[in-house]
Structure 1
Amino acid sequence: MSVNQETVLEHARLKQRPNWFKFDMRAYTMIGALMSIWILFSLLHDRFLSPTNLSNLFLQMSVTSILAIGMVLVIVAGQIDLSIGSIVGFTGGITAMLNVWYEWSTVPVILATLGAGAAIGFVQGWIIAYRAVPAFIVTLGGMLIFRGALFGTTGSVTIAPLTPSLKSIGQSYIGDVIGWVFGIIGLIVAGLLIIRKRRARAKFGFEVEPFAVSMLRLGVIGALIIGFVYLMNSYKGIPVPFVMVIVLALVFTFISRNTTFGRHIYAIGGNPEAARLSGINIKRRILLVFVLCNTLAAVAALVLTARLNAATMSAGQNYELDAIAACVIGGTSLMGGTGTIAGAIIGSLVMASLDNGMSLMNLESFWQYIVKGGILVLAVYLDIYSRQKKKA
Structure 2
Amino acid sequence: MQHVRDVFKNNIRQYAMFIALIVITIFFQILTDGKLLLPMNVTNLVLQNSYVLILAIGMTLCILTGGNIDLSVGSVCAFIGAIAGTLIINMKMDVGLAIVICLLTGIAIGIWQGFWIAYLRIPSFIVTLAGMLMFRGLTITMLKGLTLSPFPERFQQISAGFIPDVFKSSGISLNITALVVGVIISAIYVVFQFKKRAEQKRYGFEVVTMPLFIVKIILVLAGINLFAYWLAAYKGLPIILVLIGILLFAYSFFTTKTVPGRYIYAMGGNEKAAKLSGINTNRVLFFTYVNMAFLAAIAGIVFSARLNAASPQAGMNFELDAIAACFIGGASAYGGIGTVTGSIIGALVMGVLNNGMSIMGVGSDMQMIIKGLVLLLAVAFDVLSKNRARV
Q: Same fold (TM over 0.5)?
A: yes
The one-letter amino acid of 2:43's match is S
Residue pair 1:162, 1:306 contacting (<8 A) in 2 also: yes
Aligned to 2:376: 377
1:114 to partner: Cα distance: 0.8
1:97 to partner: Cα distance: 1.4
Is structure 2 residue 38 aligned with structure 1 residue 50? yes
The one-letter amino acid of 2:178's match is G
Is structure 2 residue 12 aligned with structure 1 residue 25? yes
1:341 to partner: Cα distance: 0.6
Aligned to 2:171: none
Paired with 2:206 and 2:309, the residues of 1 have a C-alpha distance of 55
Change in Cα spacing, 1:147 to 1:207, as seen in structure 2 (3 Å) is: closer
Aligned to 1:7: none
Aligned to 2:110: 121
Aligned to 1:339: 338
Aligned to 2:259: 260
The one-letter amino acid of 1:30's match is M
Paired with 2:177 and 2:313, the residues of 1 have a C-alpha distance of 35
1:269 to partner: Cα distance: 0.9
Change in Cα spacing, 1:146 to 1:207, as seen in structure 2 (3 Å) is: closer
Residue pair 1:159, 1:311 contacting (<8 A) in 2 also: yes
1:177 to partner: Cα distance: 2.9
Paired with 1:206 and 1:128, the residues of 2 have a C-alpha distance of 38
1:206 to partner: Cα distance: 5.0
Paired with 2:271 and 2:292, the residues of 1 have a C-alpha distance of 20
Is structure 2 residue 81 aligned with structure 1 residue 82? no
Aligned to 2:169: none
Residue pair 1:130, 1:283 contacting (<8 A) in 2 also: yes
Paired with 1:163 and 1:279, the residues of 2 have a C-alpha distance of 50
Change in Cα spacing, 1:37 to 1:216, as seen in structure 2 (3 Å) is: closer
Is structure 2 residue 28 aligned with structure 1 residue 41? yes
Paired with 2:297 and 2:184, the residues of 1 have a C-alpha distance of 28
Paired with 1:70 and 1:114, the residues of 2 have a C-alpha distance of 14
The one-letter amino acid of 2:40's match is T
Residue pair 1:20, 1:209 contacting (<8 A) in 2 also: no
Paired with 1:241 and 1:383, the residues of 2 have a C-alpha distance of 32
Partner of 1:238, secondary structure, is coil
Paired with 2:316 and 2:215, the residues of 1 have a C-alpha distance of 43
Gaps of 5+ in 1: 1-13
Task: Tell me the TM-score normalized by structure 2.
Answer: 0.92
Aligned to 2:314: 315
Aligned to 1:158: 147
The one-letter amino acid of 1:323's match is A
Change in Cα spacing, 1:181 to 1:20, as seen in structure 2 (3 Å) is: farther
1:96-135 matches, cutoff 5 A: 96-135=85-124
The one-letter amino acid of 2:187's match is I
1:54 to partner: Cα distance: 1.4
Paired with 2:236 and 2:318, the residues of 1 have a C-alpha distance of 27
The one-letter amino acid of 1:61's match is N
Aligned to 1:171: 160
1:173 to partner: Cα distance: 1.9
Partner of 1:161, secondary structure, is coil
Residues 364-386 of structure 1: CA deviation (Å, up to 9, x unaligned): 21112111111111111111000
The one-letter amino acid of 1:151's match is I
Paired with 1:95 and 1:196, the residues of 2 have a C-alpha distance of 44
Paired with 1:27 and 1:221, the residues of 2 have a C-alpha distance of 14
Partner of 1:285, secondary structure, is helix
Residue identity (%):
41
Q: Which runs of 4+ in 1 moved over 6 A?
A: 17-20
Partner of 1:338, secondary structure, is coil
Change in Cα spacing, 1:210 to 1:365, as seen in structure 2 (3 Å) is: closer
1:244 to partner: Cα distance: 1.6
The structure that has the greater radius of gyration is: 1
Gaps of 5+ in 2: 166-174
Is structure 2 residue 318 aligned with structure 1 residue 330? no
Paired with 1:254 and 1:222, the residues of 2 have a C-alpha distance of 20
Residues 191-243 of structure 1: CA deviation (Å, up to 9, x unaligned): 22123213323543556665555444332222111111101111111222222
The one-letter amino acid of 1:229's match is A
Paired with 1:145 and 1:267, the residues of 2 have a C-alpha distance of 32
Change in Cα spacing, 1:21 to 1:355, as seen in structure 2 (3 Å) is: same
Residue pair 1:331, 1:340 contacting (<8 A) in 2 also: yes
Task: Tell me the TM-score normalized by structure 1.
Answer: 0.91
C-alpha RMSD over aligned residues? 1.9
